[in-house]
Amino acid sequence: MRIGTEPVLIQNDPTYADAVLADGHDFLFQVDEEGWPVAGELDDARVSRASPRRGQRAGAVRAYRDGVTLRLEPMTDEQYLRYREHAEEDYARDIVASGAMPLPEAREKARQDFQGLLPDGLATEGHRLWTAYDGDAEVGRLWLHLEQKSDGLHAFGYDFAVREELRRRGHGRAIIEAAERLCRELGVVAIGLNVFGFNNGARALYEQMGFEATAIRMIKRL
């Protein structure tokens, strides 16, 4: 059932909860033991903010879309170390794939960029990193930077990522929608990001989600 708006949870019990639809009518739908929609019950529900529940840390956000139940939780120190172990090399190889520079220079750029952006790791001011879960499985990550400008608070997405073997299952879209909900709650006026020109899949997804190009850098190989 397409409801056209996110549900407003009025009450929860172990079996059902109520949502208020766009037309003002109530819709009774089945929920799991944590009070979230059972797969198939709300086919177009958007993101709902969750207070900490059993098994969740403070700051967790739950999203439901297209059969995907996605949860964002603040990245742990252990997860961050694993992330940094691979992220610099992945970034360097993306730079090479874009044609911007050879691998040795790309690796040095990646090292410098990460060190400059996250000098204090997870404690770096203005930066927030989350791990995305589908159930108990880690499916992706989100990295946002928040900056106050003259027209309001801006967010920049340094990393919206889904594990390669789990792509094209709706997780990427759910992560972006969760990020948008977080930003709205924080009063963010705009979200920016960069995408490499060769990454057609990501570019198509971002355009579908309403992102618009503000600049395009081009190169011609001789």
> Looking at the whole model, is its pTM more than 0.85?
no
Least confident of 49-58, 60-69, 104-113, 182-191: 49-58
Residue listed under structure tokens 């709706």: 170
Least confident of 29-38, 48-57, 127-136, 165-174: 48-57
**pLDDT for 68-118, tens place per residue?**
577 888 999 999 999 998 999 999 999 999 999 999 999 999 999 999 999
Q: What is the mean pLDDT of the chain?
A: 75
Q: How far is CA 155 from CA 7, 95, 130, in A?
A: 25, 23, 14
Report which of residues 174 and 150 the model is more confident about: 150
Domain boundaries, the chain: 75-208
At the top level of CATH, the class of 75-208 is: alpha beta
On the question of pLDDT at 154 being above 90, the answer is: yes
Going by their DSSP bridges, the two strands 61-65 and 26-30 should be labelled as unpaired
Phi, psi of 62 (to 5 degrees): -110, 135
3-state secondary structure the chain: CCCCCCCCCCCECCCEEEEECCCCCEEEEEECCCCCECCCCCCCCCEEECCCCCCCCCCCEEEEECCEEEEEEECCHHHHHHHHHHHHHHHHHHHHHHCCCCHHHHHHHHHHHHHHHCCCHHHCCCEEEEEEEECCEEEEEEEEEEEEECCEEEEEEEEEEECHHHCCCCHHHHHHHHHHHHHHHHCEEEEEECCCCCCHHHHHHHHHCCCCCCCCCCCCCC
Whether 102 contacts 161, CB under 8 Å: no
Confidence of residue 11 (pLDDT cuts 50, 70, 90): very low
On the question of pLDDT at 3 being above 60, the answer is: no
Residues in the chain: 222
Among 1, 47, 65, 52, CA closest to 27: 1
**pLDDT for 115-145, tens place per residue?**
999 999 999 999 999 998 887 888 899 999 9
Bridge partners of residue 157, in order along the sequence: 144, 193
* CA dist., res. 161 & res. 176, Å (int): 10
Query: Residue 76: what residue type?
Result: T
Q: What percent of the chain has pLDDT over 70?
A: 67
